[in-house]
Structure 1
Amino acid sequence: MDSSPIRFQSILCFFAVFLGIFIFFLPEKAVGNEKLMAGLTRYRENYVKKLNALADEAERNGFNEEAEITRNWGKPTEKADEIRVSPLPKEFWERKEDSFSDGKKSSSEKKSSRAAASSGQKKKSSGGKSSSVGEESNLKKRKNDSEEAGGSDSARTVRSGETQSGQKKKESSAGQKKLKAVTSKSDWETQFRQLRMLASNDYLRFAKRVVSNGHVSLGFSLLMQSLHENPDNAGARKILGYQKTKFGWETEFEAQKRKMGNVWHEEFGWLPKKYVKKYEEGLRFLNGQWVTAEQDSQFHSTIENGWTIETGHFQIVTDASLEEGVRVGQELEKLYRVWKQLFLNYYATESQIKALFAKETAKFMAIPKHRVCLFKSHEEYRDYLSKHNMLVPGSVGVYVSRNSQGVSCFVAGEEDMETMFHEVTHQLFAESCRTNPKNGNSQNYWVIEAAATFMESFHDTEEGAHAVGGFDHSRVRAARIYFNNSKKFVPFEEFVRVNRSTWQNSPQTGLFYAQACGMAHFLVFFDGGKYRDAFGRILFDVYSGRDTLETVAKHTGVSYEILDREYEEYISRNAEEIANFMIRD
């Protein structure tokens, strides 16, 4: 489950871009504090200058690879219409011998590192504390800095150029330390880490400050930027629900599994540690005894006796195979992580979010694990859903809500991942808050489908990050073709009137789905994401049944006429790319 150091380094670069889009393009009114916005921009520019100065120093002394890594750290590489979320490493950053190379050291480098570490442990200052001679002592100091940052109060003055009185202070700590000569790879790594540790602390303070001002999306992106700089920032990790154990950074669910003697296996999921070897040899533990994999499969040949796979947020029952259930579980956990970040202000109130960032106790509604059934054949899928009066003809995936909790059903091997992401997104929204079962029956049904079609775009990048969005995604592309070529568009004021029944029985269903997806991308990405937080609030009102025909205008703060014009501006970009395409309804 862990990434290699160099892969992790390249993955994390993407956080910088998401942050950059917010900082440089988010309108002033979205932040509501011109001085804070200026401080953020100034801080970011100063930090990039420090990175480039270190890169120049490394290059002057022949450390070209290290110079390139340092420069790339501050460069945006993400697309403007895409959000990327990197998987956080489980191992501790300070335990890595060499986080920025291919992980290999020459024998002379290893001896030098051991000698320096040994010297650092033996050498004491007059006050009885270790001097920062070896890399280990530097890492311990930085670890303490990180933990101290986690204790910062959200009202604490941001050190990036703004005080509470509005007076400019000295530049932040990321720019205070004088650059030292880079005469060895260790010199470079020490300074690179120090810059990032200090930046991580500052970004966390920024995150707390903007969240206290009510700006969730920006605050969360700054939180992730803090972890981009230092994956071991204890304060940032705690906000995300991680705890520090001897195994590394773990969620409460993972830590509980460990305490029970279980370990995670990529093929078989959570297993008692003592079972792993036998499972890898082809045996399975069933009803108190060891059996062959074939015997195990025969026992689990129906969904009623299927394998049950538990992940942090899902319970998957399948009669396809244990391995297939584990694979799907991992995909859904990745989807959940992106969904949770993007729609934080859907399932959490403003007071809960502020408490979370202020190191207070935030009380959330207890949510049962989301249930998923994965069938080995389409015939079994159809028979099961027909028996329970849940069948959608021609489907290979569906979410059906019954009473307080529903279930998502799919056909293994036939599951279209976009269909799975679409249906599970419906499930996450329906089961993460108290919702009204009649939502969308009167108006605003497009909002429900907009979020689900948006999350269809979820994918893993080549670098290993998890991403959503993309102006070339098939649904958005269809919305662009409808608008620019077919000249088909339902204005906002009319679209909000479409209810569930009209949607499902209209001859324009294809247009409706495409436009809903286009509008979701518009709300998330237009003008640096100025309507992103509004989208979460709109979704909450619709799912809870509190919405009216004016809900979208209310939360965006503009008229439907203005939204129409802005949507046209967004969806008409690069129209020449799809000039020769048409859609036949």
Structure 2
Amino acid sequence: MRYTLLFASIAAALLAPALHADRLITKDGRILEAQKIRQKDDGYEIAFVHGTVNCPKDLVASAEIVEDVSDYVPKNDDEKKKLESGFVRFNGKWMTKSALQVDLDKRAKELAKRTEDRALHSDFFKGWTKETAHFKVQTNTSLELLDYYANLLETYYGLMDARIGIKPTPTLRSTKMQVNIYKSWDEFREINEANVGGGVAGYFSPADKTLNFFHNYSDPGMSTWVGLHECTHLLTFLIDPQFVPS
């Protein structure tokens, strides 16, 4: 898929511990720190020690960039004065080098805290959880993906309810369906071995009332499709508890 090589490069870059000035956060919650990040019309060019990759704009939540002002042409006298005084540009704003360092130190602490939090939730059974009106969602991917899938499935429930009317039995009406989203196919297979064949990417189990699938980082669109497909089985079960997914 079109993101496979990009995310392979990103995965390798995430192993590097050094803190750099430029940082990019993807919509799925991953943090990339690079030697240099340059904004392009269609996304960002990310320079690492061992090469450069391009990240499409639609994958990016935010980017923090220290601009190279060595050949910057000032637009007015104020900018000229700032350049002469040794100011730098960070995220499009002028600041002193000391102010930039304070900001970078603050970012380093935030990153360390975020990294620690991710480590605490890296095991699926210690993953993040969220309850919506109809679901209990658990994942060890990221908080961003937790929110994404919780909102996706709840929105889908509302859409289908409006179209066909979902009227569960009193028992099922008071039961929130469990949704388990794993961070890799290997983990998904390991934990759900009894229910997963070679080509299975997700499934709904009427017996334990759980919807299970994994987030595919190299093809997130597939994960969205799988989640909605299996949620269709779940909603069918709520309408007809005798339904058995095939």
TM-score by length of 2: 0.48
Higher helix share: 1
Structure having the larger proportion of residues in strand: 2
Provide the TM-score with structure 1 as the length reference: 0.21
